[in-house]
A and B are shown apart, each in its own frame.
Chain A
Amino acid sequence: DIQMTQSPSTLSASVGDRVTITCRASESVSNWLAWYQQKPGKVPKLLIHKTSSLENGVPSRFSGSGSGTEFTLTISSLQPDDFATYYCQQYNSYSLTFGGGTKVDIK
């Protein structure tokens, strides 16, 4: 199975900060990489698919980049609604796998 490693596991930031989360795959997943946001007690929400394609309604401050084995999720200016846990997921091959998550909390 492809292992997905996210870093950092926890990130403390302030409103307005630029935030970058990294996701590394143990082997190439091409550009078949998605990002999700999950708030406590809520269902995960798909933010980005195919590395960099934003879902409808997702604010443009979110962006994704990368290819192969290294990917990033960037929030250009962190907003109060963005404090949450973020997961990457590869869908290049089964078993589909998620990263361990990055919790973004208030500094």
Chain B
Amino acid sequence: DTGVSQNPRHKITKRGQNVTFRCDPISEHNRLYWYRQTLGQGPEFLTYFQNEAQLEKSRLLSDRFSAERPKGSFSTLEIQRTEQGDSAMYLCASSFEGGNIQYFGAGTRLSVL
């Protein structure tokens, strides 16, 4: 296990298209987080899972965004009808339940043209 893995690393899409990103957390970790990071800003919390349950969603997460973690292992983040404002780095992190050290993936950089 080499840590949190995110795919793809880069995604270029046209406005209006749907995109899906994948995150594979560290295998023993039951918490999984999604963040968005734009240029010059820190990571912004989007949502998190404990096992397969999505426990919280930020108000930043519009209804075009949906995240799943169907078996409590990997997670997907889908953005429907992408807009140019969705261009950002999307980061995934995982941690143990009850632990607050987050282990981050390398991120998926989305560019919406």
Mutual binders A and B: no
Interface on A for B, CB 8 Å cutoff?
A: none
